[in-house]
Structure 1
Amino acid sequence: MYKSYIYEDIENKLEEFKELDKNFSLDKDGLYYTIENKNEIIAYILLEKNENNYKLKRIFVKKDERFKSYGTKLLLFIINKKIKKGNLIVGKDNSISDFLIKIGFKKKEDGEFVIEDVENKDFRKKEGQKTVIASIFWNIILATTKIGFGYIGKSRALLADGFNSLSDVVTSSGILLGIHFSNIPEDESHPFGHEKIESVIGVIMGIFMILTAFELGKGGVEILFSGEKREVPEMLTVYFALFSSVVKYFMYKQKIRVGLETENSALIADAKDSRNDIFASLGVVLGILLSIYVNPIFDLIISILVAVLIFKEGVSVILETTDTILDKQDMEFIEEIKKYIYENTDIKNVHDIMMRKSGDKIFLELHIRVPKNMSVYNAHKISDDLENSIKEDFPLVKNVIIHLDCLLN
């Protein structure tokens, strides 16, 4: 259980802290955080706040409980839950430098370690949420106007395009939920984090698009072969279809920008849907004009083509997002990692490189060969240095597992 203490609270538990750590010091302005089991303190951290920055003064884990990741868990709890803004700084303590780098700290030129601008850990979430909320707002407006004026203006194509926008409201709402849940920090039950829920949402979005397309297409085909009289659409429906294409263009530009910046597969899929909606709305314009000046059947044909377009994009979204769920290998990235290792280290053999993606994060596994008479300490150091270097130079790599093999004679 995680707990926080201030100066007044510590006074009541002073003996317990001193019994845990003989070098414990009481800091009047300090912030104390602990992990406790049955009210027994297992580990604690002391932070000192200075303006918008936090300095880690001490981290201590009970001797019998070390090497059980309590220090890592407590530090991640501080980073993810307690520090809302500013830098987290650790002094020049070489005894835990490897531990700090694994957590995500960067070593500065003066020897200190820092996680800069902790609030940026929420950038991906905030940008994604802001973009999707704007998308929901505009799709509600488009769906309402196109369905309403499609009905009033007797245009089935505009009506179909309106239901397409209505489906976008549902899928965007799903993406909004995905962004929220995927940004929940990793925990003991989900050590790889929750980012993969974005891909799950992407698949659901694709299925919903296919179902929407089926219903729209089915209705259009039934009318096409029913032989009933077709009405000529009103000219005003053209303007709403044009308005829709303009709005969808700006929605596409915003979604694709944020999606690529944040590596959000669900948002990228939604951007592609908006891009196709541009052509769908322009197709509606063409269909309405042909219906007015040539034959009313064109409005119906365009409504069916819009349904086919939605169906095609739904299938495409499912195929793309399932690649992430099924851990499809990015061979270009794997070759880039291999080239990086050969060009920047003395390692002569790297093989069996595998990767998996979870949201924007990459998890790597690879094998390297070291001399068979090398000490465990030196082999471990090579492995640690390589892991830290890859994570430093490839920011999207969250974790690296390195298996050591011996060089064959």
Structure 2
Amino acid sequence: MEQYTNLRAGEKGAYLSIIAYIFLSTLKLIVGYMGDSEALKADGLNNTTDIIASIAVLIGLKISQRPPDDDHRYGHFRAETISSLIASFIMIYVGIEVLITAVKNIMHPINQEPRALTIVVALFSAVVMFAVYKYNIALAKRINSSAVKAAAYDNRSDALVSIGTAIGITAAILGFVIVDTITAFVIGLIIIKTAIEIFKEAVFSLTDGFDPELIASIEKHVADIPRVREVVEVRGRHHASLTLIDVTVCVNPHLNVRDSHAITEQIEKAVQQLDPFATTLVHIEPYEPKAVVICEDDYHF
């Protein structure tokens, strides 16, 4: 099944993120402590929890590959979305910890001057994470994976954070030591902002939120199909990488089963052109024009 193949492909993105975060967090924390940079240490701490978030994504992808069973007739695909939700919680926790530490350092400044090496490490990290982001976002679009997309957003956030870290360290070396701590505070805000974006998207999917513009587009395309007399209802929801669409239409009540089935196939093809990951369930009803009731009073003037 294509969905399971896509989920296995998504694991590569999770593994890549884990390996990158283990390497970079170790490098940043060591150099951050040796080079006296609060911003680089905050960035390294962020990456340590990114490891946990990426592991959560990996576990979600693996659970999603379990086949349907007696109490999961649609499969376990939503485990992928739940893993994105867990990742957002972890990121929010880390962001708050970074903010608290930064505020403490602002209130009780530590006279440290970061070493030039910390700038090199921050810029190197930005390049690595941007490369990982490009790989994961392309993979997420190809397999339509919310979990891999969440990981990609996290990768992009980390690349931007590392650039900000390099700027803050540079300012601190030039004599504006407080800028390094302020940068750590900004890093915390960026982490929380990215986490909230991932959280909102996961909750939107888990609560069956759906794009109304796509619904309107499906209604229009289905209504244009020959022999479809009326589009009664179109509903949609996301099941991780799958898009489940329910369409109810009215057709000529005198059509035989074969002709009615042919119409459902046309509808399925029309929906799949709009969303290649869509699985469409079509319900056929007989078309019955509403009778026009004329009251006798209408003839009195």
TM-score for both structures, normalised by structure 1: 0.66
Cα shift at 1:405: 5.0
Q: What is aligned with 1:128?
A: 10
Tell me if 1:384 matches 2:269: no
| Distance (whole Å) between structure 2 residues aligned to residue 185 and residue 255 of structure 1 | 25
Taking the TM superposition and a 5 Å limit, the aligned residue runs for 1:142-181 are 142-181=24-63
Q: What is aligned with 1:43?
A: none
- Structure 1 runs, 4 residues or longer, greater than 6 Å off: none
| Distance (whole Å) between structure 2 residues aligned to residue 390 and residue 346 of structure 1 | 11
Identity %: 27
Q: What is aligned with 2:168?
A: 287
Tell me if 1:204 matches 2:86: yes
Tell me if 1:138 matches 2:8: no
Taking the TM superposition and a 5 Å limit, the aligned residue runs for 1:3-402 are 122-226=4-108, 228-371=109-252, 374-375=253-254, 378=256, 380-381=257-258, 383-392=260-269, 394=272, 395-402=276-283
Give 2:96's aligned amino acid: F
Question: Could you say what secondary structure the match of 1:344 adopts?
Answer: coil
Q: Assess if the C-alpha contact under 8 Å between 2:102 and 2:181 holds in 1.
A: yes
Cα shift at 1:235: 0.9
**Structure 2 stretches lacking a partner, 5+ long:** 291-301
Could you say which structure has the greater relative contact order, defined with CA pairs below 8 angstroms and 6 or more residues apart? Answer: 2
TM-score for both structures, normalised by structure 2: 0.89
Q: What is aligned with 2:295?
A: none
Cα shift at 1:144: 0.3
Q: What is aligned with 1:94?
A: none
Q: Assess if the C-alpha contact under 8 Å between 2:14 and 2:151 holds in 1.
A: no
- Aligned pairs, number: 286
Q: Assess if the C-alpha contact under 8 Å between 1:367 and 1:403 holds in 2.
A: yes
Question: Could you say what secondary structure the match of 2:104 adopts?
Answer: helix
Give 2:138's aligned amino acid: R
Larger radius of gyration: 1
| Distance (whole Å) between structure 2 residues aligned to residue 386 and residue 153 of structure 1 | 69
Q: Assess if the C-alpha contact under 8 Å between 2:227 and 2:251 holds in 1.
A: no
Q: Assess if the C-alpha contact under 8 Å between 1:367 and 1:405 holds in 2.
A: no
**Structure 1 stretches lacking a partner, 5+ long:** 1-79, 81-119
Cα shift at 1:157: 0.2
| Distance (whole Å) between structure 1 residues aligned to residue 211 and residue 59 of structure 2 | 27
Cα shift at 1:124: 0.5
Taking a change above 3 Å as real, the CA distance of residues 362 and 189 of structure 1, as seen in their structure-2 partners, is same
Taking a change above 3 Å as real, the CA distance of residues 352 and 201 of structure 1, as seen in their structure-2 partners, is same
Q: Assess if the C-alpha contact under 8 Å between 2:237 and 2:243 holds in 1.
A: yes
Q: Assess if the C-alpha contact under 8 Å between 2:225 and 2:267 holds in 1.
A: no
Question: Could you say what secondary structure the match of 1:282 adopts?
Answer: helix
Taking a change above 3 Å as real, the CA distance of residues 176 and 185 of structure 1, as seen in their structure-2 partners, is same
| Distance (whole Å) between structure 2 residues aligned to residue 187 and residue 314 of structure 1 | 32
Taking a change above 3 Å as real, the CA distance of residues 389 and 186 of structure 1, as seen in their structure-2 partners, is farther
| Distance (whole Å) between structure 2 residues aligned to residue 134 and residue 225 of structure 1 | 38
Taking a change above 3 Å as real, the CA distance of residues 181 and 322 of structure 1, as seen in their structure-2 partners, is same
Taking a change above 3 Å as real, the CA distance of residues 188 and 252 of structure 1, as seen in their structure-2 partners, is same
| Distance (whole Å) between structure 2 residues aligned to residue 341 and residue 201 of structure 1 | 35
Q: Assess if the C-alpha contact under 8 Å between 2:250 and 2:286 holds in 1.
A: yes
Taking a change above 3 Å as real, the CA distance of residues 387 and 172 of structure 1, as seen in their structure-2 partners, is farther
Cα shift at 1:125: 2.1
| Distance (whole Å) between structure 2 residues aligned to residue 192 and residue 384 of structure 1 | 23
For the aligned residue pairs, the C-alpha RMSD in angstroms reads 1.8
Cα shift at 1:340: 2.4
Q: What is aligned with 2:296?
A: none
| Distance (whole Å) between structure 1 residues aligned to residue 268 and residue 156 of structure 2 | 34
Give 1:203's aligned amino acid: L
Give 2:113's aligned amino acid: V
| Distance (whole Å) between structure 2 residues aligned to residue 186 and residue 347 of structure 1 | 33
Q: Assess if the C-alpha contact under 8 Å between 1:245 and 1:277 holds in 2.
A: yes
Cα shift at 1:362: 1.6
Give 1:234's aligned amino acid: R
